[in-house]
A and B are shown apart, each in its own frame.
Chain A
Amino acid sequence: MSLGLERITLEDGPATREAFGDALAEIGADERIVVVDGDVNNSTFTNKFAERYPERFFNVGIAESNMIGIAAGLAACGKIPVASSFSTFLLSNAFDQIRMSIAFPNQNVKLVGTHAGISIGEDGPSQMAIEDVALACSLPGFTVIVPADGPSTSAATKVMIETEGPTFMRCGRPKVPVVYSEGAEFHLGKANTLRDGDDVTVIANGIMVAMALDAAEALASDGIAARVLDMHTVKPIDVAAIERAANETRAIVVAEEHLAYGGLGSIVAMVVGERKPIRLAFVDIGDTYATSGTAEELLAQYGLTPGAIADAARRVLKD
């Protein structure tokens, strides 16, 4: 099977983790903000906050369970704790602490998981969060954000801090293409229509948004008009945007850097099934762990490419 368009452009803009770290430092004068770190601040870029506001920065060591509990206690004192680590250590290692100490009592803690997905590359599957979106979305009351690029991550960081309630934001390791202009607005729960079309809709988030735009370009040369939605907020999902897509286009392709079960694809399928059943196709990691390799190699190997999105669109339109 040809994947068609193979261009994976990972290097045009900052990594979303770095945009998060910059934005957090930028708004850090807000004394409500405290940062709790699991000794990865130079990877998550919360070190930029720490340099400016050391008295409100707590490196608790490699102890994610304790980190989450401390964040919950600080939230109960009226602080806005940002607890940040590699996404898999945050969500998978400390899941019960997140459930019990944050979600159940509805504490205003902001979890920011970096190094999500397989695009972390060489470090391999032990470091790859590919279940994190499903885990976070399963928690009642949680808001779940997967921004596409630097500017939208920066905007999302600020909105996250200003919005009351437990939140998970997912960031990536590699530099990623810039999709939005600097200063772009970010509205929680509102998908952005980045390109309009009436044949097929590609719903994507994170690193897959830029690829969806590339795929739409390729599809256009075949005479297929693809709508591209950046579904940056996975929970609460933008039901209206999905329903419109189901009514106005013939099929939907969902693209995410996550396992097949429980992520964006599953949630879109729930909405489509209930509101307006149409054909769906899914571009994701499937039901498997990855391996080591470069980010580009892994994305190609596991079918997370513009070509894979375009192929999925052609296939689902043909059926």
Chain B
Amino acid sequence: MPTARTEARADLERIARTLRSHIVEATTKAGSGHPSSSLSMVEIVTVLYFGGVLRYDPLDPHNPERDRFILSKGHGAPGLYAVLAEAGYFPVADLMTLRRLGSPLEGHPNMCRLPGVEASTGSLGQGFSIAIGHALGARLDKRDYRVYAMVGDGESEQGQVWEAAMYAGNHGLDNLTLIIDRNGNQQTGAVADIQPLDPLDEKLRSFGLEVRTIDGHSFDEVSAAFDWARSVSGRAQAIIANTIKGKGVALLEAGQGKWHGKPIPPDEEAKALVEIGA
């Protein structure tokens, strides 16, 4: 039976630093990838996998009772791979094969090649719908697993996200939690300049979801949000997590709009790792 791992607060902080260093090292070694989009989601996935939220068993990744985490923003793959490796789905050393020929750690997640990946994503907008399918599957099979889907705020410009929100909202899928990694930036600039989403909370609420907005880098707020999500009955939930793209690396944090899809250059890597402090 899959179970949740519940680590102490100090361990969560240590794991988050480890994930950040994996993200930086793997993408810098690969010479490509999306470290900044991965760094914004670190606290959220740390709490999901180590903070007593997801019930999973890396030795039995397809167990039908498992909770599901679907990374719809597939370019956050380095962040997903880092947490899956630390959770025990595959060796941590494999992280350094990211994007290499033959490696199952492809540029975007491929569920057929890597255990723990719940959906093949990377063409934006699709993961929330897939999560609804899993949530309906739980209802049909009378299982109590929960489904979490993470989308980006830029990704939320895709119409399919709102088709899915309408469905989730209208059908009371209380075993389904949408997480929006709201790092405020997309490929060529700020979401607020390109296709402003506000009032995002009101939009989601009007689609029938229960909504909570949090600081996505605060362990307390992230943990409390997942506690809240599990307590909601009769409605799907959305957690809007305000985050910082490139969180933890000064070069990326200061260079918003310039680092989407770009790894940290090798000569900046050591400094970044010191800042992360893993």
- B116-153 CB mask vs A (1 if < 8 Å, else 0) is 00111111011111111111111011000000000000
The main secondary structure of chain B at its interface with chain A is: helix
Contact between chains at B159 and A70 (CB < 8 Å): no
- Once bound together, how far apart are the Cα atoms of A255 and B78, in whole Å? 49
Give the shortest distance, in Å, between A36 (CB) and chain B (any CB): 8
- B64 interface residue (CB < 8 Å to A): yes
Known: A55-B140, A65-B129, A101-B126. A76 touches B119 (CB 8 A): yes
- A197 interface residue (CB < 8 Å to B): no
Residues from chain B with a CB closer than 8 A to the CB of A77 are: 64, 133-134, 137-138, 140-141
- Once bound together, how far apart are the Cα atoms of A12 and B170, in whole Å? 43
Residues from chain B with a CB closer than 8 A to the CB of A127 are: none
Contact between chains at A70 and B64 (CB < 8 Å): no
Quick one: closest A residue to B123, CB to CB?
Answer: A100
- A277 interface residue (CB < 8 Å to B): no
Give the shortest distance, in Å, between B13 (CB) and chain A (any CB): 33
- A302 interface residue (CB < 8 Å to B): no
Contact between chains at B133 and A73 (CB < 8 Å): yes
Contact between chains at A79 and B126 (CB < 8 Å): no
Quick one: closest B residue to A74, CB to CB?
Answer: B133
Within B164-182, the residues touching A (CB, 8 Å) are: 164, 166-167
Contact between chains at B131 and A73 (CB < 8 Å): yes
A56-64, A113-121, A187-195: which lies at the B interface?
Answer: A56-64
Chain B contact residues (Cβ within 8 angstroms of A): what range? 20 to 34
- Once bound together, how far apart are the Cα atoms of A265 and B167, in whole Å? 40
Within A62-120, the residues touching B (CB, 8 Å) are: 63, 65-66, 68-79, 81, 96-97, 99-101, 104-106
- A298 interface residue (CB < 8 Å to B): no
Across the interface, B126 reaches (CB within 8 A) one of A75, A97, A106, namely A97
Give the shortest distance, in Å, between A102 (CB) and chain B (any CB): 10
**Listed A/B pairs (24) with beta-carbon separation below 8 Å:** A56-B140, A58-B136, A60-B167, A63-B167, A65-B125, A65-B159, A65-B160, A66-B167, A69-B128, A70-B129, A70-B130, A71-B133, A72-B133, A73-B136, A74-B133, A74-B134, A76-B119, A76-B130, A78-B64, A97-B160, A99-B123, A101-B119, A101-B130, A104-B120
Give me the interface of A with B, judged by CB distance under 8 Å: 34, 55-56, 58, 60-61, 63, 65-66, 68-79, 81, 96-97, 99-101, 104-106
Give me the interface of B with A, judged by CB distance under 8 Å: 64, 110-112, 118-123, 125-138, 140-141, 159-160, 163-164, 166-167
